[in-house]
């Protein structure tokens, strides 16, 4: 018995691989492709129907193909070897090539290997899948996935008490309980939520992820031009969102709590650089410092000379941040007197400096501090961010 007797190929595989084998009869299956290559029009129809059913909007795509069918994989290898096949068209590649061409031609979409908006996954196995429309390709199924969508912008936070992102309820850890009214959230309103609740249905996505260029505390306002952020929509079915409309809807439905501006589409690289930019950038804060005793004009001069800060991770964030000593620069510090025991400090500094601790000293963990250089205990009673600058 020769190998040619063990295997039979369909007309398509005969012409693309080798004519040494005999042709499958009407009711036989091709040893390489299981007759799938004879029914590519039906595979295309399955893909087309899925895209229509979920109404997925996209311009660029890429097809991936998985064959979890050992006999098929093994036969293909053996046949290729036996005829010394040097080509590069395995079953997976042939399917991808043919179906990509059909999608380009019939649907007018563009193939993009590097950064496709949509990935069409073709899966093949031995056992038929339930509920398949065509018996000839019942062991093939199609999943459609879409890559995330990224939108950059700047937000202003005009009301205190709003965190940037969602926090799971500390009582139930997000499951939903009486304390959180079953929401699973510690805070009912977040910057992320105020944007996401409009963006998510517009993009018809599964979920939202918010990436800020740093974050201010819950009780801190974000003023000026706002803080840069990238908001990510996972598995969006719509990508061409009207950003002007999104901005208008968010700003008019947030009860003056937040405002977003300068929206634009960006890619994943921009998301990463926005997140990493906090150290390279500078920030400007307006802080009110309340002192235990009256402040002299000598004290004010000393405060204005503050430059390099050695800051150990503050006590209040030490449960979630590594315990390190960071060196941060204050580039400029202006003092305005409010009354004998209260000053307003306008601080321009390197990103990553904790301002509340710069004022209080954090029990000696921040050196120097407004408290330490004046010998007068001070606390920050109000803080606003006036500017967050990041490299373009
Ligand atoms: Zn075949
Ligand atoms: Zn809860």
Closest to 364 measured CA to CA, from 308, 315, 295, 303: 315
Per annotation, catalytic residue among 112, 217, 267, 290: 217
Closest to 150 measured CA to CA, from 213, 231, 207: 231
Structure-block tokens of residue 169: 């309820």
Ligand that comes closest to the CA of residue 39: 1
CB atoms within 10 A of CB 54: 12
Residue 240's alpha-carbon distances to 237, 249, 297, in angstroms, are 10, 16, 58
How do residues 122-166 score in pLDDT, each as one tens digit? 999 999 999 889 999 999 999 999 999 999 999 999 999 999 999
Ligand that comes closest to the CA of residue 183: 2
**Ligand 2 center–CA 219 separation, angstroms:** 21
What's the pLDDT at 392? 76
Ligand that comes closest to the CA of residue 187: 2
**Ligand 2 center–CA 189 separation, angstroms:** 15
Ligand that comes closest to the CA of residue 178: 2
CB atoms within 10 A of CB 314: 17
Weakly modelled stretches of the chain, pLDDT under 70: 1, 277-280
Closest to 9 measured CA to CA, from 150, 20, 169, 375: 20
What's the pLDDT at 1? 60
Angle between helices 191-203 and 243-252 (to 10 degrees): 140
Ligand that comes closest to the CA of residue 173: 2
CB atoms within 10 A of CB 207: 11
**Ligand 2 center–CA 292 separation, angstroms:** 38
**Ligand 1 center–CA 171 separation, angstroms:** 59
**Going along the chain, which residue ranges are E strands?**
8-9, 22-23, 60-68, 110-111, 118-125, 140-146, 149-157, 207-212, 221-234, 258-266, 282-291, 308-312, 325-339, 342-350, 366-367, 378-388
**Ligand 2 center–CA 303 separation, angstroms:** 43
**Ligand 1 center–CA 29 separation, angstroms:** 8
What's the pLDDT at 278? 58
What's the pLDDT at 177? 94
In angstroms, the first-to-last Cα distance of the chain is 70
**Ligand 1 center–CA 104 separation, angstroms:** 23
**Ligand 1 center–CA 133 separation, angstroms:** 21
- DSSP class of residue 256 equals T
* Cα 221 from Cα 75, distance rounded (Å): 66
Query: Is 217 a residue of the active site?
Result: yes
The angle subtended at Cα 228 by Cα 222 and Cα 230, nearest 5°, is 125
How do residues 74-92 score in pLDDT, each as one tens digit? 999 999 999 999 888 899 9
What's the pLDDT at 6? 86
CB atoms within 10 A of CB 124: 23
What's the pLDDT at 279? 59
């Amino acid at each position: 018995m020769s190998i040619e007797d063990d295997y039979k190929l369909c007309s398509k595989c005969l012409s693309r691989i080798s004519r040494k084998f005999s042709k499958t009869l009407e009711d036989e299956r091709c040893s390489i492709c299981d007759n799938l290559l004879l029914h590519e029009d039906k595979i295309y129809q399955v893909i087309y129907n899925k895209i229509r059913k979920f109404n997925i909007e996209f311009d660029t795509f890429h097809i991936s193909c998985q064959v979890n069918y050992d006999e098929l994989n093994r036969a293909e290898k053996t046949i290729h070897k036996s005829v010394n096949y040097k080509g590069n068209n395995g079953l997976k590649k042939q399917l991808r090539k043919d179906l990509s061409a059909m999608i380009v031609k019939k649907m007018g979409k563009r193939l993009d290997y590097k950064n496709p908006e949509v990935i069409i996954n073709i899966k093949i196995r031995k056992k038929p899948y339930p509920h398949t429309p065509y018996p000839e390709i019942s062991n093939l199924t199609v999943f459609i996935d879409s890559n995330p969508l990224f939108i950059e912008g700047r937000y202003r936070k005009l009301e205190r008490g709003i965190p940037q992102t969602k926090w799971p309820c500390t009582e139930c850890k997000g499951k939903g309980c009486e304390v959180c009214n079953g929401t699973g959230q510690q805070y009912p309103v977040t910057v992320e939520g105020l944007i996401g609740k409009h963006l998510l249905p517009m993009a018809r996505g599964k979920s939202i992820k918010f990436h800020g260029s740093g974050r201010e505390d819950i009780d801190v306002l974000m003023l000026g031009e706002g803080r840069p952020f990238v908001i990510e929509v996972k598995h969006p079915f719509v990508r061409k969102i009207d950003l002007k409309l999104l901005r208008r809807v968010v700003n008019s439905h947030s009860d003056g709590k937040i405002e977003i501006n300068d929206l634009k589409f960006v890619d994943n690289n921009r998301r990463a650089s926005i997140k990493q930019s906090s150290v390279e950038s500078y920030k400007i804060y307006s802080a009110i410092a309340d002192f235990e005793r009256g402040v002299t004009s000598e004290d004010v001069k000393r405060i204005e000379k503050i430059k390099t800060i050695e800051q150990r991770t503050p006590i209040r964030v030490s449960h979630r941040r590594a315990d390190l000593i960071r060196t941060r620069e204050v580039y400029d510090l202006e003092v305005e007197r409010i009354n004998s025991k209260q000053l307003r400090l306008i601080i321009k500094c390197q990103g990553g400096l904790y301002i509340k601790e710069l004022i209080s000293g954090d029990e000696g963990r921040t050196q120097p501090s407004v408290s330490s250089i004046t010998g007068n205990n001070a606390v920050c009673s109000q803080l606003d961010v006036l500017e967050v600058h990041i490299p373009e």
